[in-house]
Amino acid sequence: MVGPPGASHLEHTIEDPWDRAEEYTCVKCKELFSSIKDRVPYMLPCQHNACGICILKGEDGRKEFACPIDFSIIDGIHMAERNG
Ligand SMILES: [Zn+2]
Ligand SMILES: [Zn+2]
């Protein structure tokens, strides 16, 4: 949030939940994160969040994921391994 100097008296007192929607939705499919169906959030190196489904699916079947926000290609993302 960046506002003009001297405008602090105009600050919002009600937090718009959608201001933070990026933290709870996948940057790719815009779906809310969930612990079911592998739609768990993964922090990308560019600090955005994408769900496991999109990352695992990759782009066009390739094992890489392009962040739709900054278009950075994430290859070989660090995935949480499932043991057992
Ligand atoms: Zn997704
Ligand atoms: Zn990004």
Structural domains of the chain in order of their starting residue, each with its CATH number: 20-73 (3.30.40.10)
Residue pair 22/31 in contact by the 8 Å Cβ criterion = no
In angstroms, rounded to a whole number, what is the distance separating the alpha carbons of residues 77 and 36? 21
Mean pLDDT of 22-50: 88
Strand ranges inside 1-84, DSSP E = 41-43, 49-51, 64-66, 73-75
In angstroms, rounded to a whole number, what is the distance separating the alpha carbons of residues 58 and 67? 10
Instruction: Measure 51 CA to ligand 2 centroid, in angstroms.
Output: 13
Nearest listed ligand to the Cα of residue 68: 2
Residue 45 is encoded by which pair of tokens?
Answer: 């190196």
* Residue 80: predicted pLDDT: 43
Of 68, 53, 71, nearest to 22 by C-alpha is 68
Provide the mean pLDDT of the chain: 73
Instruction: Measure 18 CA to ligand 1 centroid, in angstroms.
Output: 17
* Residue 82: predicted pLDDT: 44
